Amino acid sequence: MKSLVVKSCCLVFLVLFVSTHCSVSATNKPLDPEKPCKRFVLYYHNILFGGDDVANATSAATANATRLGNTNFGMLVVFDDPMTKDQHLLSPPVARAQGFYFYDMKTTFNAWFAYTLVFNSSDYKGTLNIMGADMMMEKTRDLSVVGGTGDFFMARGIATFQTMTVEGAKYFRLKMDIKLIIPEGIGELEELKVLDLGCNNLSGLVPSKLGSNLSLTILLVLNVLGMTSDRL
């Protein structure tokens, strides 16, 4: 019984520590959408396959539009499109946009995107995952950046779309203004010495800034829960 009480106290201590630390971090460092950690502009070029342009096409319709309205409702397009730093289609791509979009509104043109930006250049290496609704009739549209890898590890943010050129159903170009917030302290590990309080084997490598890496801290708490349950 004494052992159980000690373990419970240890668990309460850890939960209070994490809650307090994260609250202080959130108060001291509010997110400012006008000052993202990274911001850059890229241009997306989409050339829809027409049946006889295999060499140039970068996308293809894998499901045809239905007869429900005249807005391509139900049409699904899979793409592997080049992303350039300027508006020129033939400029060297700095990334590839790989994913799909489909038309999902009967009354007006609207598409839903889900894709990955794959970077492999001298500027950046890694990926960004982007998804959301593209309200085509609006001048600008915001889609969510939901994750990243490499230079964009655990990134979150907004990709603002703006249509630059449309040439019928064959080609269109989008401007993407990408604003990212990347957690601080990622990859910085240091030894955390936890007070014993009867909980052995709890010291080890954890992120130096727990507020930015709450998930790993929760694992530490779950470790205590497991130790407690093993002794019940």
pLDDT of residue 51: 87
Q: pLDDT for 111-148, tens place per residue?
A: 999 999 999 888 899 999 999 999 999 999 999 999 99
Task: Compute the distance between CA of residue 184 and CA of residue 217 in angstroms, rounded to an integer.
Answer: 15
User: How does residue 69 score in pLDDT terms, banded at 50, 70 and 90?
Assistant: confident
User: How does residue 4 score in pLDDT terms, banded at 50, 70 and 90?
Assistant: low
Model-level pTM greater than 0.75? no
3-state secondary structure of 73: coil
pLDDT of residue 169: 85
Task: Compute the distance between CA of residue 42 and CA of residue 157 in angstroms, rounded to an integer.
Answer: 15
Alpha carbon 200 to its chain centroid, in Å, reads 37
What's the CA angle centered on 169, arms 47 and 143, to 5 degrees? 70
Question: What H or E segment, with its residue span, contains residue 192?
Answer: strand 189-192
Domain spans, the chain: 2-31+191-230, 38-181
User: How does residue 95 score in pLDDT terms, banded at 50, 70 and 90?
Assistant: very high
CATH, domain range 38-181: 2.40.480.10
pLDDT of residue 70: 87
The two tokens of residue 157 are: 């943010």
> Which residue is listed with tokens 């397009």?
77
pLDDT of residue 117: 97
Residue 198 has pLDDT above 60, yes or no: no
Residue 73 has pLDDT above 60, yes or no: yes
Mean pLDDT throughout 213-229?
A: 51
Task: Compute the distance between CA of residue 134 and CA of residue 179 in angstroms, rounded to an integer.
Answer: 17
pLDDT of residue 218: 53
